Amino acid sequence: MDGPAEFQFVNSNSSISDMDDYDISRLLGKPRLNIERQRSFDERSLSELSIGFARGGVDNFETYSPGNRSGLDTPASSMRNSFEPHPIVADAWESLRKSLVYFRGQPVGTIAAVDHQSEEVLNYDQVFVRDFVPSALAFLMNGEPDIVKNFLLKTLHLQGWEKKIDRFKLGEGAMPASFKVLHDPIRKTDTIIADFGESAIGRVAPVDSGFWWIILLRAYTKTTGDLTLAETPECQKGMRLILTLCLSEGFDTFPTLLCADGCCMVDRRMGIYGYPIEIQALFFMALRCALAMLKQDAEGKECIERVAKRLHALSFHMRNYFWLDFQQLNDIYRYKTEEYSHTAVNKFNVIPDSIPDWVFDFMPTRGGYFIGNVSPARMDFRWFALGNCVAILSSLATPEQSMAIMDLIEAKWDELVGEMPLKVCYPAIESHEWRIITGCDPKNTRWSYHNGGSWPGASLLFSCAVVGSNGCLHQNGAATNSATSN
């Protein structure tokens, strides 16, 4: 993946060595995917100013030099003003800067949320790895990479801590879900407290934090042109530790990554246990980023070989078994069960009667998506926004699949977007199913929070996915449906 956040789109018949040929700065100049709906004046203003901001940021990526904060000969403040055609953008930057967290005088991230009306903030006053990524991309586009570099180094330092939960030691490569800075005004000292899952609601360690860290490191490298950070022994070791944790051999027969409920952005037990699409897409994205940054030395060479093999197997598995379109839905509906041997068509022994009724109304004749989960005797047919958008951005989805995902969103706009930001998943679980799966979690009632709630943060990935899927149309050469490619 190339570009500010590793957004790169390659032909499905490209080899891994070809994966650095496309970047978002080239794609932004091309016609955008035509997704239209009736919008109010305020909505049009917001979308237009956002596109203008993104274009301005991307246009300056190539002119950025590591020694110049703004990337231009003008002051950084002047550069920021050039991106602020609307007062809302200025307000957004002001709010973002107010959320900055400092450690020993240096900004190291942004807190998850600022709520002046609530006295009980729980852990929202902490810097979350996954939540900081959109802020980090904004700072990179605005020519302020120092904040991102400080964050990357600080979380890398936290990775080296001994991580114990109830006398049980976590793997070396585990990254924290979040960290908090405590200021002592009397002693004038700063202390960091990291959370690896021992304080989290549900006590679940984050699987996605390590992936986001690798992706952000690659974004920093591509944006600044500064290769020295990623090539330091510390960063190389940090990447290898994360990859070793994820690529370890076990009893699993699938190349996907086994994960627990609550291990990622869709948490608080939402029935995603197994192989959730969000984690698999981030896993694929992080592997590709790592492949571009790992050094060909004695320690890195073996890791590179393992990454390349896993990418090959993972892309084949995901494109074949997680993909659902109208034709595949018909095939599953006609599956035979209890098939034995390697010739079985219904490899996961999915019972056709387990297909929920809503899927038949939801699936358009033109379009498709990666379903939420695939495991023995079970397919989670829910739509998850983050996983599908990241699949496009990382080229986990083929060009044809990328366009099909966008066709689905266009056909089901009212259900997936409506008048609000993108829904994190669809449909929401409710009634008896909600009681069983969530444990009657009042925070995850239907159409709220993780249970079909509207997430503004997902809009960034969706916007980039629109650009990416549109870029697939302009690639040279005919696309192929071969799932064994890439």
In a domain, 165, yes or no: no
Domain count within the chain: 1
Closest listed residue to residue 239, CA positions, set 192, 179, 306? 306
Cross-strand bridge partners of residue 374: 379
In the block, residue with structure tokens 């002119």: 63
Does the global pTM surpass 0.85?
Answer: no
Question: Using an 8 Å Cβ cutoff, are 469 and 38 in contact?
Answer: no
Burial tier of 406 (Cβ tally within 10 Å: 0-12, 13-18, 19+): buried
Give the CATH number of the domain where residue 255 resides.
Answer: 1.50.10
Question: Using an 8 Å Cβ cutoff, are 431 and 45 in contact?
Answer: no
Q: What is the pLDDT of residue 471?
A: 67
Cα–Cα distances (Å) from 21 to 11, 329, 456, in that order, read 10, 34, 30
Q: Within a 10 A sphere around the Cβ of 244, how many other Cβ atoms?
A: 14
Q: What is the pLDDT of residue 198?
A: 85
| Separation between Cα atoms, residue 461 and residue 213, nearest integer Å | 17
Q: What is the pLDDT of residue 469?
A: 79
In a domain, 1, yes or no: no
Strand ranges of the sheet holding 378-384, from the earlier edge strand across to the other edge? 323-325, 368-375, 378-384, 425-426
**Average pLDDT along the chain, 486 residues, taken 10 residues at a time:** 37 41 38 41 36 36 33 39 69 93 96 75 87 95 96 96 80 92 93 89 88 98 96 97 93 93 90 96 98 93 95 97 97 93 91 95 96 95 97 96 96 92 95 94 94 89 85 47 37
Cross-strand bridge partners of residue 303: none
Q: Which token pair is 326?
A: 């109208």
In a domain, 443, yes or no: yes
In a domain, 246, yes or no: yes
Domain of 53, in residue numbers: 16-68+214-473
Q: What is the pLDDT of residue 42?
A: 39
In a domain, 384, yes or no: yes
In a domain, 2, yes or no: no
In a domain, 84, yes or no: no
Q: What is the DSSP string of 257-314?
A: --B-TTSSSS-SS-S--BS-HHHHHHHHHHHHHHHHHS-SSHHHHHHHHHHHHHHHHH
Q: Which token pair is 348?
A: 């996961």
Q: What is the pLDDT of residue 203?
A: 82
- Determine the length of the chain: 486
Who's near 428: CB < 8 A, 6+ residues apart? 446, 447, 451, 452
